[in-house]
Amino acid sequence: MEEKQYTSLTVPSEYHEHWFQYMQHNQALQVAQYHQMATLPQYMGAPDEDRVMTELMVHQEHTVPQEPPVPVQAPGKGKRGRPPNKEKGDESPAKAKRKLDRFNGMSVEEVMAKTLPDVLAHNLDILIIGINPGLLSAYKGHHYPNPGNHFWKCLFLSGITEVQLSAMHDQTLPEKYSIGFTNMVERTTPGSKDLTSKEFREGSRLLVEKLQTYRPLIAVFNGKCIYEIFSKEIFGVKSKNLEFGLQPHKIPDTETVCYLMPSSSPRCAQFPRAQDKVHFFIKLKELRDQLKGVAQNPEVQETTYTFDLDMAKEDAKKLAIKEEQQDPGYEAAFGGVVESSAGPGQSNGHCDFPYQGTPARQSEMVGRETAPLAAVGRVLDGQWMMQSFADQIPEIAGGSAQLQ
């Protein structure tokens, strides 16, 4: 093998001079750029480390720093989907609240000056007793006009009235349904808490006089609070745990019984819904019917069934004999045909209805009757039917023959 010898390359001196001049020129440019950046205002007070970092970034591209995008937040919702309140500095002048005109321009004082007349008649079945008139009742001049009150709805749901009535019908109830209305205290107030104990005592005595005059069958106290006051003032009984329904005391010198039911107001905490109070109206109706002696119609009537074994056996025998006489295979089993005892126009076990139709159709049927009975499809009495029911009918039999 031949050995290869490598000798070092020799570089011309001109190349060395050219490369040295290029490096000196490049270094001079870098120093000039460094001095220019050091003289700028933003770099005058920078520490030595910042200057070194600036020198390193000379040959890098100058990029403008971008601020991170600020996330857009959806406006928060406050109570019931309303936007949150503005900051104190951005508060706009508050809008004046619009006043509700509940009484068609009348002030509360003017409405409180009005009274609610009683709806009374002698010998009523039911007399509804409230505490005192409210503002809306005094303004409307009717009893229980508030749409949220459950009185009229429960009156209908319990069956006392057959149709749904409203406060506008209160004057017609004494004549139609023998129901009246009154209150313990006549003064109109926004609420019962505005009444004084003196007014309750005087109202109880006036209510007794009113009941003794008109003598209703049942005095219905609409609310537990009113009966507690009435019972303490009239009967001298301080009842702490009252039970709804019929009460043990009657109105003095009368046969009027007292009935207590929950308040029909929707603010009744114990029975807040109308369906919770319907039960007491139903019991009131039953009490009225019981006191009047009205017979009740039970929804479910029981029926008494009896079973006599001997009578059942006799019926079974009669039914078996009857079936044997009408059985078409009975005669064939005993070898003979029993003569029919049917009169004219009748047949043994078969109905013979007269045919009514057009003259052409009648003549056609007459021609068929003269044909043999087997062809027409008639079956003799006492024989089994060997043909299909469709073949028994001339129209179907003829149609099937044409199709074939």
Rg (CA), the chain: 55
- Written as six digits, the tokens of 50 are 């910042």
Measured distance CA(66)–CA(43) in Å, rounded: 21
| Beta partners for residue 257, in sequence order | 218, 250
For 215-274, where are the alpha helices, taking DSSP H only? 224-230
On the 0-12 / 13-18 / 19+ scale of CB atoms within 10 A, 178 is: middle
Please, which residues bridge with residue 221 across strands? 129, 260
Tokens representing residue 88 in the block = 């104190």
Terminal-to-terminal C-alpha distance of the chain = 116
Q: Residue 281: which of 360, 208, 220 has the closest Cα? A: 220
Of 142, 143, 149, 222, which residue is the catalytic one? Answer: 143
- Annotation says 143 is catalytic: yes
Q: What is the DSSP string of 253-276?
A: TS--EEEEE---STT-SSS-SSTT
Question: What's the CA dihedral at 363, 367, 373, 376 to 10 degrees?
Answer: -70
How do 245-250 and 179-183 pair as beta strands?
Answer: unpaired
Q: Are 324 and 332 in contact (CB under 8 A)?
A: no
The active-site residue, picked from 132, 149, 183, 222, is 132
The partner residues of 260 in beta bridges, in order of sequence, read 221, 245
Distance CA 361, CA 367 (A): 10
Q: Which residues are catalytic?
A: 132, 143
